[in-house]
Amino acid sequence: MTRADLHRLVDELPEDSIEPAAVVLERARNPLWAVLQAAPPDDEPVTAEDIAAIEKGRPQPGISLAEFRDETA
């Protein structure tokens, strides 16, 4: 697809589609976001082993801002 093709598609959008298309185009300006959006969805089921690994890797609860300030003062 060329820029001219894209311009033609934008010009042909119905009025109700302009705002949603603008959101998509704004996101596409960020190369990382564009790659992530184009990636296929992860359709593998989550296994018990996956859940165990997630739980094992989950960080401990953090500390409050006040505690942080006390520790770093």
In tens, the pLDDT along 57-67 reads 877 778 888 98
What integer is the mean pLDDT of 40-63? Answer: 87
65 vs 46: CA distance, rounded Å: 35
Tell me the pLDDT tens digit for each residue of 1-36.
899 999 999 999 999 999 999 988 888 888 888 788
pTM for the predicted model, two decimal places:
0.44
Token pair 């989950």 is found at 58
pLDDT of residue 21: 94
pLDDT of residue 16: 96
Length of the chain: 73
